[in-house]
Amino acid sequence: MFIDSAKIKIKAGDGGDGAVAFHREKYVAAGGPDGGDGGRGGSVVFQVDENLSTLADFRYKRKYVAQRGENGRGGRQSGKSAPDLLVKVPRGTLIKDAATGRLIADMSGDGPQVIAAGGRGGWGNTHFATPTRQVPRFAKPGLPGQELEVLLELKLLADVGLVGFPNVGKSTLVSVVSEAKPNIANYHFTTLTPVLGVVRLGEGRSFVMADIPGLIEGAWEGQGLGHQFLRHVERCRLLVHVLDAAGSEGRDPKEDFRIINEELRKFDPELSQRPMLVAANKCDLTSDEAVEDLRDYIEGLGYEFFPIMAPIRHGVEELLQAIEARLGKLPPIRRFEPEPEELLPEEETRRGQITVTNEDGVYVVEASWLEKALSAIDLTDSESLQYMQRMLVQSGVIDALRDHGVQEGDTVDLYGVEFDFVE
């Protein structure tokens, strides 16, 4: 089954927590803090796999979670960093943020792409020792790994795309010029998935041709099957419009040409400007006068015209030579540039992660990172409390409370830890 889109959730590993530990050794008094740092969490990394041609694997597994970094230990032993989680996708896959539609990466090259970065490990209490704070009883927790829902969209990489109505001979053309073996029969929608074929013209001379399933009028709005595969035309450097010159199904090839070009334009206006050649197939089923009339019409619109009989390769060599010549003048296959993430000012970013609600006079503070940070604080130790106070100021919690109208003496709740607000 050909699957060319999928939505999955990815979660990078959290960083390990720093350790609170003290050196203990016989005959060594007050050895001091020696808690190690936590290890970095694993990142979610995407990599192209040439053996994959669809996104079918993502239909059954929709959540990918990397491992968490190990916690630090005593003896200044840092926790082990977690391995990255490798996710393999077919070449040509676009990775987008499902929430915003922002393009994160175009998996058309060979290099791996880090899509969700693992969290940094927390510092052990060794880092917090100072001449005046010789026994720190707190450490930093590991930072959370990035988590997001992404949309995977496969856009095939092909030099040439064959477009046209169903049953005009696109599959036959691909089958005679390459080793691809699409389904061929005398009925509509024989081809249900895009078919790629490598056309070899000689030593070091080749290009990739894609048979795009037949379009019909209204395809850009979702009519027929072709609308599912219009996205695959976007990367093609050159289009070959295949027409039924004989009008064997009662259609007018001139009208077919107009309709399909209009469908391409409505789907993506840029496609209407894409270089195009026209191949008039089934010329043996009509008169020479009809073929010449069609030639005059197509060439009058500024397109090169090639009458062919695909099953017996009549006229096909001339078409292939013209395709090769045109491709030599065109830029490489299109690559989509990632879109930069919109960043808020630093203070808005911090406050955007903090929620303050007034519940019967108690100001309840919630933040995804706050509960874990509080777990590393020793509330019976004055130095730990001082560190917590600085953390609340620097992270924007105190400013968020002021913005919500907290007054001196009001009660503040931090995940069960209550204190009176003091200016």
DSSP per-residue codes, 19-37: P--B--BTTB-S--B-PPP
Q: How confident is the model at residue 245 (pLDDT cuts 50, 70, 90)?
A: very high
Q: Put residue 415 in one of left, alpha, beta given phi > 0 → left and psi -120 to 50 → alpha.
A: left
What CA–CA distances, in Å, run from 420 to 68, 383, 417? 36, 18, 10
Q: How confident is the model at residue 327 (pLDDT cuts 50, 70, 90)?
A: very high
Q: How confident is the model at residue 193 (pLDDT cuts 50, 70, 90)?
A: low
Residues 69, 118 contacting (CB under 8 angstroms): yes
Q: State phi, psi for 234 to the nearest 5 degrees.
A: -60, -30
Q: How confident is the model at residue 85 (pLDDT cuts 50, 70, 90)?
A: very high
Average pLDDT over residues 147-173: 88
As assigned by CATH, the class of the 160-327 domain is alpha beta
Whether 91 shows a pLDDT value over 70: the answer reads yes
Average pLDDT over residues 127-137: 80
**Closest by CA position to 214, among listed 288, 277, 161, 147:** 161
SS3 of residue 248 by DSSP: coil
Query: Which range (134-148, 287-301, 366-380) has the least confidence?
Result: 366-380
Q: What pLDDT shows up at residue 351?
A: 44
Query: What would the CATH number be for the domain defined by 1-155?
Result: 2.70.210.12
Average pLDDT over residues 191-198: 71
Q: How open is the CA angle 412-416-419, to the nearest 5 degrees?
A: 35
**How far is it, in rounded angstroms, from Cα 341 to Cα 58?**
25
Residues 112, 88 contacting (CB under 8 angstroms): no
**How far is it, in rounded angstroms, from Cα 345 to Cα 328?**
47
Residue ranges covered by each domain of the chain: 1-155, 160-327, 346-420
Per the listing, tokens 């070899």 go with 200
Average pLDDT over residues 304-324: 93
**How far is it, in rounded angstroms, from Cα 61 to Cα 49?**
17
Q: Please give the CATH architecture assigned to the domain spanning 346-420.
A: 2-Layer Sandwich (3.30)
Q: What pLDDT shows up at residue 191?
A: 47
Residues 138, 12 contacting (CB under 8 angstroms): no
**How far is it, in rounded angstroms, from Cα 139 to Cα 18?**
5
**How far is it, in rounded angstroms, from Cα 245 to Cα 296?**
13
Distance between first and last Cα of the chain: 64
Q: How confident is the model at residue 350 (pLDDT cuts 50, 70, 90)?
A: very low
Q: What pLDDT shows up at residue 183?
A: 55
Residues 398-407: pLDDT tens digits?
A: 888 888 888 8
Percentage of the chain exceeding pLDDT 70: 88
Q: What pLDDT shows up at residue 30?
A: 66
What global pTM score does this model have? 0.70
Q: How confident is the model at residue 147 (pLDDT cuts 50, 70, 90)?
A: very high
Average pLDDT over residues 63-86: 94
